[in-house]
Amino acid sequence: MPEPYIDPTCTALLVIDMQKGFCDPESQMEKAGIGTENQRAILPAVLRLVELARERGLPVLWSQQIHYPEDVTRRRRRIPSHIDKQHWAPCLRGTWEVDFVDEVAGAIRPEDLIVEKHRASVFFETTLDTKLRMLGIEQIIISGCNTDFCVETTIRDGYYRDMDLIVVRDCVAGPRRRFHEDTLAKVETYFGAVVTLEELPNVIMPRVQAQEGALAEARP
């Protein structure tokens, strides 16, 4: 078993896009034949992960994807966007698809931070980076959907900002299993660490140990 390497004094949990547009069987994603079953399947594990984060005193952040029907930037493209290629547009502003799934909505607390985004990465032109730095965050535990797109793009952007990234294997999902596994392999090879929810508590340092370590580093 590896030594604990997650410092709870500088770690946050980020839950990416657990919304009806990506998880609901009545969503456009499901009707387009892409599928939402895998995303729904991780809901119980994600909720347990949130509970664990709260038990360990970690800040919890949620991203919320919102697409604009009148977004003209995609019309300028000569090559079709991912939305055009798949012939569906999830989580359009003003629709129920932007809402968090009911189980998630019930788990969000007033002190949690919700980051609204309009592109795949939670970092792209949002307040996430500023909020993390204000909280003193250096490590991010990653969960949510979809693994191969919004999750992976966020991981890459976090890595380029010198964050430690920890992906919880059974708390991320996407409709294409092969793409999902490919992303996890890239994380293990390049961008961070991959653990299961069962393994995660064992790699989080006790808070007292982490605080003592920080004090030792601060001594001249």
Alpha-carbon distance 62 to 13, whole Å? 8
Alpha-carbon distance 167 to 7, whole Å? 15
C-alpha gyration radius of the chain? 18
Q: Which of 160, 86, 85, 71 is nearest to 119 (CA)?
A: 71
pLDDT for the residue 215: 45
Q: pTM for the complete prediction?
A: 0.90
Alpha-carbon distance 217 to 220, whole Å? 8
Q: How far apart are the first and last CA of the chain?
A: 33
Domain boundaries of the chain, sorted by first residue: 8-218
* Tokens describing residue 134: 């204000």
> In tens digits, what is the pLDDT along the chain, a chain of 220 residues?
568 899 999 999 999 999 999 999 999 999 989 999 999 999 999 999 999 999 999 999 999 999 887 655 555 567 666 666 666 778 999 999 999 999 999 999 999 999 999 999 999 999 999 999 999 999 999 999 999 999 999 999 999 999 999 999 999 999 999 999 999 999 999 999 999 999 999 999 997 566 655 545 555 5
Secondary-structure class of domain 8-218 per CATH: alpha beta
pLDDT for the residue 87: 65
Give buried/exposed letters for 50-64 (b at 16+ CB in 10 A, else e): bebbbebebbbbbbb
Q: Which of 29, 9, 10, 8 is nearest to 20 (CA)?
A: 29
* Tokens describing residue 40: 């729904």
Tell me the HSE value of 167 on the side-chain side, using a 13 A CA sphere: 32
Please state, as a whole number, how many other Cβ atoms lie within 10 Å of the Cβ of residue 183. Answer: 23
* Tokens describing residue 203: 């790699």
* Tokens describing residue 78: 């000569």
Alpha-carbon distance 130 to 136, whole Å? 10
